[in-house]
Structure 1
Amino acid sequence: MSKNLIKRITFDTNTLNSVLYPKKSQRQNKREAEIVLEAIYSERLQGFFCETLITLEGITDKDRSSTIGSTNVIARSQEIEKNQISIKIGLQFTPSPMNIQHENRINDALSLKILPLRSGMEMGNFHLDPKIYSLYEPDGGIAELARCMDRVHELAKVLRCKGVGKAAAIALDEELTDKYGNDEEELFHKGLGRAKTNSEKKHVAKAIAEWADGDSITSHYGFGMNLFCSEDFGKSYQKPSVLDEEHRKWLESDFGIKFVTLFELARMLTE
């Protein structure tokens, strides 16, 4: 691509970590990560990540089952004026301390103006406090934001039908609930909290990572970013994944999502 053209890139957790800390990268991409980081410094690239990198992946693997399982619905009412009451409904869970390395990663990304993208607003998702985190705001105001969120929800609905992304966490909830029993209507998060064995807790951690990946893809698509930079091909999940080869091809052909590795992105920047 032209060396003067600004591209908007969505990074997943692993590629973001490599770009922020090229010399510490565990992958064979140190030089490529340095090229990409330099492009961010020089404002040839604009970097983004989905808010689920904080809300979901900010929970350590060992705590994901208990933390997500503690989720409850909360409602707050406020009298606006006589005979008018505002009611807000949301989700709340007992947070576990964020891994300090992950917290530093987020702060370092924000310092480079790598901004979080909103995930879907459907019930069951968690969101950042905009008073604490500067979420990306598209040009065009509220009307353009609404259009972007419509696109986020469009793809999220299709991913649920495909059984990948957030659908993986919902399916595991049903599996654990069937195993340990519960007849009451409840949030799907509760089933994830029923994991008892180490193996089940590891499955929950991976399902939540898959949920985060799915939301990253839908946010990337909804906000019209140019390239999705990832070196995760869904191989560790051992089930159909939004990032496996089959779903990557489908997302590119049907939704125009272009995937690149750091090596490919660095090559584009130096051509």
Structure 2
Amino acid sequence: MFFALPLFSSIYFSFTTYSILQPGEFIGLQNYKDLFHDDLFWKSIYNTIYFAVFFVPLSIIFGVALAMMLNMKVKGMAVYRTIYFLPTLVPHVAMAVLWMWLLNPGFGLINGTLDFFGIQGPNWLGSVTWSKPSLILMSLWGIGQAVIIYLAGLGDIPEEFYEAAEVDGANWIQRTFHITLPLLTPVIFFNLVMGTIGAFQQFTLPYTMTNGQGSPAESLTFYVMYLYDNGFKFFKMGYASAMAWILFVIIMALTAVIFMTSKRWVHYQGE
């Protein structure tokens, strides 16, 4: 009732002019045709893909690197792990407000630090060039949950492999690339799939920072933001339903590609 019915209803609504207040009329593929002639629709797709292409690989690289650092046997490591996980507990709205202060071009901490070294900081959130990189930076600050999953994966790698490698004279780099990373690929695969899905559903941070406007110059108008505006601001629920199913197809296609290629690079213990 609460999942299947709305799911299949949205398929029907995507072929109608349904507007919440009015039942609408059946118009066939007209919503989909209009979307392909909607400039903001393509702009939102570009912004979302830009974010996903840079954020997902960077989150994996930084996540694995942090997990390996936090896996060292150092005194007080539990405190360090807690510190890196804390940003994950901050609500996205609060995180957006915090970073808006940090990235303020006039009195923000980041530009103030750059000025100390004689570097003129950009207008982070007010520049078309820097707005999306700023959002990527904010999102990377909250990858603590992925780091915990990587830590669990590192703890699952048997010590015998490292001991045998040390006996054979392998150095730290060789052990990392021939033992750690290959045996961590199942966890990387999981975070790659979940990270891709999450990146294409980016909504809270850009919506909060721009008050739903996607400024500057719509450079922060993401796909789900535009979908939300059509459905709940403009009451074009049929149009929004069509957007939702296009997003579903895109995510399913990308997930299928990742699963098909996983056989080449994901290595499971015992295989």
- TM-score normalised according to structure 1 size: 0.32
- TM-score normalised according to structure 2 size: 0.32
Q: Answer with 1 or 2: which has the greater Rg.
A: 2
Tell me which protein shows more strand as a share of its residues: 1
